[in-house]
Homo-oligomer: A and B are copies of this chain.
Amino acid sequence: MIREDFLTDEFFMKQALQEAQKAFDKDEVPVGAVIVANQTVIARAHNLTETLNDVTAHAEMQVITAAANHLGSKYLNDCTMYVTLEPCPMCAGAIFWAQLGKLVFGASDPKRGYELLPAELLHPRTQVYRGILNHQAESLLKEFFKRKR
């Protein structure tokens, strides 16, 4: 059987969803992210704010740090970040500083998504794609918050 989604945005977003599932399994808000360079995942992370007791430990922040470590470069111009949920302003600010080439996110965040703000937080050169496998990301988040109630 031919893997039709091989090396597509959906393929890499599935990797981010696997990270989100790891967060879910740790009772963390389930958000996951990977960073891809040259069609290869070079960094992966999931939300660890509860485990690390640290509001800055969002998936995006960690994956940026990990990718920069991997590349030996602070700047991620030739990289794509796949993240299951729309970044918050903090993470959008980090994505700006990293000069990320391409951002692909799944579900929109109607409460704290960076696109809610009447301001451009990302670098003008960062391409943005939305809604990739958003239903899977939303299902995981809904299940998490249902259990919390």
Known: A49-B74, A89-B89. Is A56-B97 also a contact (CB below 8 A)? yes
Of B49, B89, B98, B118, which is within 8 A of A92 by CB? B89
A interface residue numbers (CB < 8 A to B): 49-50, 53-56, 61, 64-65, 68-69, 72-75, 88-94, 96-98, 117-119, 121
Chain B residues with CB under 8 A of A69: 53-54
Q: How far is the CA of A55 from the CA of B117 in the complex (A)?
A: 22
Which partner residue on chain B sits nearest A99 by CB separation?
A: B55
Assess whether B94 is in contact with A68, with CB atoms less than 8 Å apart.
Answer: no
Of B55, B65, B118, which is within 8 A of A56 by CB? B65
| 9 further contact pairs, Cβ within 8 A, besides A90-B94, A93-B93, A119-B119 | A49-B74, A53-B68, A54-B69, A55-B68, A55-B94, A56-B56, A89-B89, A90-B91, A92-B93
Known: A49-B74, A74-B49. Is A56-B117 also a contact (CB below 8 A)? no
Least CB distance from A124 to B in Å reads: 14
